[in-house]
Amino acid sequence: MKETIPVSVCIDFKDPSAYLAWQPTLDLSEALSITFDWLPFVSPVKHSAPELKLNTREARHKLMRYQYRQMDLIRYAGKSILSLSAINRNVDSKLASIGLLWCKQQSSDIAMKYIEETFKACWKSELDISEKAVIRAVLAKAGAALDLFDEFCDTTGNTQLASLQKTLKNQGVFDTPAYLLEGELFVGRQHLPMMRWLLTGKQGQRPI
């Protein structure tokens, strides 16, 4: 049975960085037999290159950072996993986030299956996860109940998501993937080795 340790993983289904972190984070959870608490976080939309005006030095530097981020994602993912066309999409992930809250109140197994299927829908099939029909199909694949889901979206789910966003922002979360471990915030999957070290009681050499 997995040990209960306060580790929260904040993900945004529209964020390719969160998608690339999903499997390594899941692998860490399995390797350490620790159940992580996966939480939805709707991060700000990362603007695509055509929206950037190049009439200032700041804007040109912003474009350079944007282009580097694209190449870095492709470098680690490989073109078979992430395409530039997929990265450039701006998708509203609010409904998908509410879907995760809906699944979490049913069972952890359903929630984990939903995360997997939603990431697949968004990044492998490049479906529009802002569409309710898409999310309902993902919920069905995950084995979640569909009755009352529409009502949940308009009432309790919407309220829960807003409250969660406020709480996470107050804890310093601003982007995904983000990890909260005993009150400390780590943003980015590059921190997984450090988290492994901390979660194993600081055994072995400290990651640098």
pLDDT tens for residues 110-146? 999 999 999 999 988 889 999 999 999 999 999 999 9
Is residue 40 domain-shared with residue 110, that is, in the same domain?
yes
d(CA 102, CA 159): 12
Residue 208 within any structural domain of the chain = no
**pLDDT (0 to 100) of residue 60:** 72
Dist. CA 23–CA 36, nearest whole Å: 13
The parent domain of residue 74 ranges over 47-89
Q: Measured between alpha carbons, how far is 103 from 142 in angstroms, rounded to an integer?
A: 9
Q: What's the confidence (pLDDT) of residue 139?
A: 98
Nearest to 10 by CA among 81, 100, 77, 90: 100
Spans of the chain, pLDDT less than 50: 1
Distance of alpha carbon 48 from the chain centroid: 19
Q: What's the start-to-end Cα distance of the chain, in Å?
A: 31
pLDDT for position 207:
84
Angle formed by the axes of helices 94-104 and 156-170, nearest 10°: 100
Domain boundary among 89, 123, 144: 89
Note whether 145 and 177 are same-domain residues. yes
pLDDT of residue 77: 67
In the three-class reduction of DSSP (H, G, I as helix; E, B as strand; rest coil), residue 43 is classed as: coil
pTM: 0.86
Q: How far apart are CA 170 and CA 164, in angstroms?
A: 10
Specify whether 28 is located in the same domain as 105.
yes
Q: Are residues 80 and 101 in the same domain?
A: no
Q: What is the pLDDT of residue 2?
A: 52
Model pLDDT, residue 1: 46
Residues 136 and 150: beta-carbon distance below 8 Å = no
Sheet holding 178-181, edge to edge: 34-40, 3-11, 178-181, 184-187
Domain end: 37, 64, 89, which one? Answer: 89
Cis peptide before 207 (omega within 30 of 0): no
The amino acid at 2: K
Burial class of residue 185 in the structure, from the number of CB atoms within 10 Å of its CB (0-12 exposed, 13-18 middle, 19+ buried):
middle
Provide the domain count of the chain: 2
